[in-house]
A and B are shown apart, each in its own frame.
Chain A
């Protein structure tokens, strides 16, 4: 359907131009026009993403602040929420169910609180990742930026949330007899690796959630299963002592368990390296790199399709 043949169309009459008779593609090529909304190359994409680093940071911080801006206590909730969470888990698993088997109270309570906080970090990154694109279609359809900014920004928001929780965690650890020492510095690499892992996971979930928004309904169940299987409130080797050995091994090697165990090892004096599987640092780094790279590639592959909704 050309413009001039269409009913009622008045064709613009340009002065005879040398471009007459060129197809749209040839004309575009002649003047160096590029396809709008095409997926950039991987290198170009990473460069664009780097250019938006300030936006990613500002967006994550804005989301974090906006969360509690209507509450009377305001940003105090950043610390109060994890504290209450820890109290609830302590009450149920520490007091009522007495899941501390084989651990003294001084070890078990920081063990539990660390597990809850570290797992929550992964859990909320995944949940935010699912809705990163599908819940922000307005933004995706209004402005131009590498879409990976969104899931990464949400993962970063959760990291900052965890840093607030760490204040509570330090207090709990010290309160139950752990003394701050050099091993506490290990927290930094653990957090960095877990953040990489979570970002990768958020990227994967963002692409899947953009195509199938139903995942947002399904994920809570998967995450809860994962949580109970990762030894958040109990020690995996002790709990599964009477089961075949491979079950405990498999559960211990899952990334959530690895990051939790490393964090406990760093913080809690009574939780020594005998609780860690072999080559635990290699596994932590391996999971982080694998999932981060894989997630990034997987997300980038569909870059031009986000926003169709």
Chain B
């Protein structure tokens, strides 16, 4: 830790994430082009080789950038421009078709939604979500009360012991965010997490994200809300159709982006 600090003061910037000509391709089964008969599908399975019946979606096309320690990087672009896909590739969750991502430690995506189960109580979901994110049992026990208090689920009675399917969508979103935000991260990626809950909760979560930023080396934030990008990020990557259209200081990129979207 000490030598890194010296490096930073000496002007040398330490890269934490390097994307090198990254391509991501999704393969979609069952959305065939051309002949879609069952026999054609069978021959494809048997023959292997180039899968013709599978539609390929080229979501990220040759993106390169270097992110440094202490940076907060915003990702903007219209819907379907590849922002979330890029985040997942950085986290190592989506295999790259071509190119590489190098990272310092294990980047983590802020989101545990997929690990939670609606049929279980909030209480058990806190534990399950924590374990899924790689926290130890002791860590969870330690932070359990903090997570519940932060979510504010128990403000209106003892809801944490009820199954999550009984929660309102706002309550569920708040609990999910609270669980996800309970862990410390080296490289943290946030996918539009700011837009959950009521006004009061949003303020609380923005504050928590600023805290996480302080603890994390580098933060990536995907958002359609230009204001929250301006508030939290000092650098912005603008993706359009899977390509990196612009990369620079927040103000410059946002100005161009607003011109582009006609705002």
Q: Bound complex: CA of A293 vs CA of B104, how far in Å?
A: 32
- A interface, CB within 8 angstroms of B: 1-3, 6-12, 14-15, 17-19, 23-25, 27-28, 31-38, 51-52, 54-55, 58-59, 62-63, 65-66, 69-70, 136, 138-145, 212-214, 304-305, 307-309
* Partner pick for A309 among B15, B27, B248, CB 8 A cutoff: B27
Give the contacts of B118-147 with A (CB-CB under 8 A).
119-120, 124, 127-128, 131-134, 136-137
Q: Which residues of A contact B181 (CB under 8 A)?
A: none
Whether A28 pairs with B136 at a CB distance below 8 angstroms is no
Q: Which residues of A contact B66 (CB under 8 A)?
A: 24, 27
Per DSSP, chain A at the interface is loop
Whether A58 pairs with B103 at a CB distance below 8 angstroms is no
Q: Bound complex: CA of A1 vs CA of B62, how far in Å?
A: 8
Binary A-proximity of B219-263 (CB < 8 A = 1, otherwise 0): 000000000000000010000000111111100110010000000
Whether A3 pairs with B119 at a CB distance below 8 angstroms is no
Q: Which residues of A contact B27 (CB under 8 A)?
A: 308-309
Whether B132 pairs with A141 at a CB distance below 8 angstroms is no
Per DSSP, chain B at the interface is mixed
**Total A-B residue contacts, Cβ distance less than 8 Å:** 174
Q: Which of B75-83, B89-97, B197-205, B207-215 contacts A (4 or more CB under 8 A)?
A: B89-97
* Partner pick for A3 among B11, B15, B64, CB 8 A cutoff: B64
Whether A62 pairs with B246 at a CB distance below 8 angstroms is no
A144 touching B119 in the complex, CB below 8 Å, given contacts A3-B64, A37-B101, A213-B29: no
Q: Is B106 an interface residue (CB 8 A)?
A: yes
Whether A31 pairs with B14 at a CB distance below 8 angstroms is yes
Q: Which residues of A contact B131 (CB under 8 A)?
A: 52, 54-55, 58-59
- Enumerate the 5 nearest inter-chain pairs by beta-carbon distance, A residue then B residue, closest first: A37-B92, A24-B20, A28-B102, A36-B92, A138-B114
A308 touching B95 in the complex, CB below 8 Å, given contacts A52-B134, A142-B112, A212-B45: yes
Whether B64 pairs with A2 at a CB distance below 8 angstroms is yes
Q: Bound complex: CA of A144 vs CA of B132, how far in Å?
A: 8
Q: Bound complex: CA of A304 vs CA of B96, how far in Å?
A: 10
Q: Which residues of A contact B248 (CB under 8 A)?
A: 9-12
Closest approach, in angstroms, between the C-beta of B123 and any C-beta of chain A? 12
Closest approach, in angstroms, between the C-beta of B63 and any C-beta of chain A? 9
Q: Which residues of A contact B167 (CB under 8 A)?
A: none
Chain A residue, CB-CB nearest to B113 = A142
Q: Which residues of B contact A138 (CB under 8 A)?
A: 113-114
Q: Which residues of B contact A214 (CB under 8 A)?
A: 45
Whether B115 pairs with A33 at a CB distance below 8 angstroms is no
Whether B15 pairs with A27 at a CB distance below 8 angstroms is yes
Chain B residue, CB-CB nearest to A303 = B95
Q: Which residues of B contact A63 (CB under 8 A)?
A: 117
Q: Which residues of B contact A38 (CB under 8 A)?
A: 92
Whether B12 pairs with A10 at a CB distance below 8 angstroms is no
Q: Bound complex: CA of A309 vs CA of B21, how far in Å?
A: 22
* Partner pick for B12 among A9, A17, A143, CB 8 A cutoff: A17
Whether B102 pairs with A34 at a CB distance below 8 angstroms is yes
Closest approach, in angstroms, between the C-beta of A267 and any C-beta of chain B? 34
* Partner pick for A307 among B14, B95, B120, B245, CB 8 A cutoff: B95
Whether B103 pairs with A36 at a CB distance below 8 angstroms is yes
Chain B residue, CB-CB nearest to A55 = B131
Whether B120 pairs with A65 at a CB distance below 8 angstroms is yes
A66 touching B92 in the complex, CB below 8 Å, given contacts A35-B100, A59-B132, A143-B112: no
